[in-house]
Amino acid sequence: MNAILRVQDLSKAFGGLMAVSSVSFEVAEGEIFGLIGPNGAGKTTLFNMLTGLCTPTSGSVRFQGREITGLDPARIARMGMARTFQNIRLFGGLSVLDNVRVPLHAMARSGLWGALAGGAAARDKERRALEKARELVDLVGLSGRAGALAASLPYGGRRRLEIARALALSPKLLLLDEPAAGLNPAEKVELSRFILDIRDRFGLTVLFIEHNVPMVMGLCQRIAVLNFGDLIAVGAPEAVQADPAVVEAYLGEAHA
């Protein structure tokens, strides 16, 4: 197994509360890896530590063989780890197209001098960013709304735009934080198909948090289960589903 992400003894304490305690797991290249667990289990905190938005209390994260613990989140993003947010965080006042262009500019290191002087290199960067952004907006089916403000999109559209914006970083690893939350059953099926499609098309590894059990079981090669900050199970969906510790965490002791 060629691990793209190696998490070792990762912990985060908020005061006396261990939000994540000594979690270790690996994600193999090309796999779709699910992270599940009851509310407050520490899933989003774990995501925030992986992407650098919050600093771990202890432990380490290695991405593509490089130690990334404590690096600037912007740097981690440019290295090829992109994410979406549980509570969608688009640039609401910017157009759909501009939302996707921002990470492209960040990758191309578009600078102040290019903006002021506007030489051939800067124009070339702008043109390529525009082309790529149009492709990605088209991919998520929003080309008809490319000029609209991101905040004006319906809910499902905002979810799709956030994925398109993450894809603009040309990620190797895509982290999706509850991408199916608030979608209707038909949209959930469509999203599953879309995740498989982009995984194959862009050669992605996908790590995602999800509550929807059929979706997780159907999509993931492997699943990790968090409960009160502890990693209680990792493995194939069927094995995890049958694990007594997992059943207990979700349903309580009497059922185990």
Partner 1 sequence: MEDFIARYGFLFVTILQQALLGLSFYLPLMAGQLSLAGIGFYSLGGYVAAVMGTHPALAPWRDSLGFLFFPLEWLCALALSVPLALALGFPALRLRGIYLALATIAFVQVLGVVVLNLPLAGGAVGIFGIPQAFESRLAYVWFFGPLLALALLLVWRVERSGFGRMLFAIREDELAARAMGVAITWRKVQAFVLGCALAGVAGAMSAPFLNTWNARQGTFDASVACLAYVLIGGARSKWGPLLGAALLVSLPEVLRPLKDSRMILNGLVLVLACVYMPRGIAGLFSRRKGS
- Chain residues binding partner 1 by CB under 8 A are 51, 53, 72-75, 77-78, 82-83, 85, 89-95, 98, 101-108, 110-112, 114-116, 118, 122, 125-126, 129, 145, 147-149, 151-152, 165-166, 168-169
- Can you read off the two tokens belonging to residue 31? 């796999």
82 contacts 53 by C-beta, under 8 angstroms? no
Nearer Cβ to partner 1 (146/217): 146
- Can you read off the two tokens belonging to residue 241? 């589903």
- What number of other Cβ atoms are within 10 A of residue 18's Cβ? 16
Query: Residues, the chain, total?
Result: 256
81 contacts 166 by C-beta, under 8 angstroms? no
> Least CB distance from residue 148 to partner 1, whole Å?
4
Nearer Cβ to partner 1 (21/48): 48
> Least CB distance from residue 49 to partner 1, whole Å?
13
- Residue 42's Cα: distance from chain center in Å? 15
> Least CB distance from residue 4 to partner 1, whole Å?
18
> Least CB distance from residue 211 to partner 1, whole Å?
22
Nearer Cβ to partner 1 (72/138): 72
Nearer Cβ to partner 1 (150/180): 150
> Least CB distance from residue 82 to partner 1, whole Å?
8
> Least CB distance from residue 143 to partner 1, whole Å?
15
> Least CB distance from residue 209 to partner 1, whole Å?
15
Please tell me the distance from the alpha carbon of residue 211 to that of residue 159, in angstroms, as a whole number. Answer: 16
165 contacts 103 by C-beta, under 8 angstroms? yes
Nearer Cβ to partner 1 (17/74): 74
* Bridge partners for 58 per DSSP: 11
Nearer Cβ to partner 1 (122/181): 122
Nearest to 78 by CA among 41, 104, 115, 117: 104
Buried b (16+ CB within 10 A) or exposed e, 70-89: ebebeebbbbbbbbbbeebe
Give the HSE-up count for residue 240: Cα atoms under 13 Å, Cβ half-sphere. 24
Query: Residue with structure tokens 């319906």?
Result: 154
Please tell me the distance from the alpha carbon of residue 249 to that of residue 144, in angstroms, as a whole number. Answer: 45
Nearer Cβ to partner 1 (91/194): 91
